[in-house]
Amino acid sequence: MTTDRMRTIEKIFNKATHSKQIHEGVLFVENTDGDFSYSKGYGGKNIDSPMLMASITKLFTTTCILALLEMGKLSLEDRLSKYFDNAVLSGIHVYEGKEYSFDLTLSDLLFQISGLPDVFEEGKDNAKNRAIEEDYYTTFSEQVALVKKLKPHYAPRTKRKAYYADINFDMLGEIIEQATNTTLAEAYKKYIFEPIALKSTYLPENEKDFIPNIYYKDKSIYRPKVIRSSRASGGCITTARELMIFMKAFFEGKLFDKALFEKLRASNKLQSSMGPIYYGSGYMRIPLDGLITLFMGKGELMGHSGSTGSFAFYYPTKDLFMVGDLNQMGNAALPIRLSMKLAMMTK
């Protein structure tokens, strides 16, 4: 059974990496106890090679928020006005003539239900298109200013709606710094890296910190300024080996009270461009029993993917964790498809 499972996983990964879009990649699959373990690299990568987490970083931000919530240092019902002055908030959320900026809460950000627009994907001069062409640094204030130029998609907490926007987690990063009276990098270190002994995972802070290249179609690009300005929404560097350690700790309750986490399981379907993905309290949920799989799957994937091809998911139905990277910014759906195939086809 174990040999058959490994052969199936290898076949799926080989097919994914043989695509003309993929130039390098890595996959690491393991169960909770580690008595089943499979890894494979492609294009010179292995489970100890540095990889850009991109939006998987949001799971780190979520971890800090839940840890601080457990300690009573913040509440998900806190209004953003507790952490940001009027100049920051004013005008950030005006929908159909009504301003909701001062009604926004931490919960709205964590669950992606604020309705705020996403400057990474939206607008003629969106951050993604600009990053493909040039390397540039954006401050938090500049990010907020860009958000204010776009229109929100709905009023906060509109029933059954969620809209994926990096600004939600960029703001949570700022809140973490205020609640801990330290930098986001130090908060990650205190609440994540040190408790589970991650040695090769870090949030880049200066030019000396190594940042891997990213592929956009056939072009390898180097964007250290873009990555350093992504911070809480997508700026961390790790390895597949350490990402596996984190994922197990996240879902096993080693970094915060698991009972608290279980109480925050509500989720809403994201915008249509995000496919079958739902968003819960700081993580993605991908049902495998719907139309997208022709109703052939069971259960759901829980975790996160990144716009650069990174992925980190837990599949409780078969007790499998799957992490890795396809390093391709040109098609953000690739890691989702790979993860779904791994869940659907492994026995």
CA distances from 35 to 90, 167, 180, 344, 346 (A): 53, 39, 38, 20, 16
Q: In this model, does residue 134 exceed pLDDT 90?
A: yes
Residue 345 pLDDT more than 90? no
Tokens of 336: 């989702």
Going by pLDDT thresholds of 50, 70 and 90, the confidence category of residue 275 is confident
pLDDT at 260: 86
First to last CA, the chain: 8
Q: Which residues contact 236 (CB under 8 A, 6 or more apart)?
A: 52, 53, 56, 57, 60, 188, 201, 202, 203
Residue 275 phi/psi, 5° resolution?
A: 65, -135
Question: For the ranges 73-87, 207-221, 225-239, 255-269, which has the lowest average pLDDT?
Answer: 255-269
Q: Tell me the pLDDT tens digit for each residue of 161-209.
A: 999 999 999 999 999 999 999 999 999 999 999 999 999 999 999 999 9
Q: What integer pLDDT is reported at residue 309 of this predicted model? A: 98
- What is the structure's pLDDT at 101? 98
Q: What is the CATH number of the domain that holds 240?
A: 3.40.710.10
- Average pLDDT for 281-305: 84
pTM for the model? 0.96
Q: Give me the pLDDT at residue 44, please.
A: 97
User: Is 295 or 283 the better-scoring residue by pLDDT?
Assistant: 283
**pLDDT tens digits for 213-233?**
999 999 999 999 999 999 999
pLDDT in tens, 18-45: 999 999 999 999 999 999 999 999 999 9
Domain that holds residue 177: 2-345
Is 145 exposed, middle or buried, given 0-12, 13-18 or 19+ CB atoms closer than 10 A? middle
Cβ contacts of 71 within 8 Å, gap of 6 or more? none
Q: Residue 292: what pLDDT?
A: 66
How does pLDDT run across 85-94, given as a tens digit for each residue?
999 999 999 9
pLDDT at 218: 96
- Number of structural domains (the chain) is 1
Residue count (the chain) = 347
Q: What is d(CA 31, CA 22) in angstroms, rounded to the nearest whole number? A: 26
Can you give the pLDDT at residue 291? 61
Arithmetic mean of pLDDT, 134-159? 97
Residue 117 · residue 153 · CB < 8 Å: yes
Residue 295, pLDDT above cutoff 60: no
User: What integer pLDDT is reported at residue 3 of this predicted model?
Assistant: 87
Backbone angles phi, psi at 143, to 5 degrees: -65, -45
